[in-house]
Amino acid sequence: MDMEQRDYDSRTALHVAAAEGHVDVVKFLLEACKVNPFPKDRWNNTPMDEALHFGHHDVFKILQEYQVQYTPSEDSNNGKENRTVHKNLDGLL
């Protein structure tokens, strides 16, 4: 099963879980499924953006901590770019 599948707005399960504040689902997707923590939806929002926007600071912190451990696959160059963005976002908190 593809846990990184996207909906009509290009949102992943991680986007939805982060936006809704579902800590256990976020942890499952990151730790067990090893999903990319940096996918962008059609509005260029990442799961971290969603968590921050909806005030789920516990989810934001989990995503922030996971980004340090995450190693993107070789065919993805989004990880490096997004880490810089999130580092800058962290400075705003």
* Element at 4 (helix H, strand E): none
pLDDT digits 0-9 by tens, 42-59: 999 999 999 999 999 999
Please report, for the chain, the start and end positions of each structural domain, with discontinuous segments joined by +. 11-67
CATH topology of domain 11-67: 1.25.40
pLDDT digits 0-9 by tens, 9-54: 999 999 999 999 999 999 999 999 999 999 999 999 999 999 999 9
Q: pTM of this prediction?
A: 0.76
- Specify burial of residue 46 (Cβ count, 10 A radius: 0-12, 13-18, 19+): buried
Count CB-CB contacts under 10 A for residue 91: 7
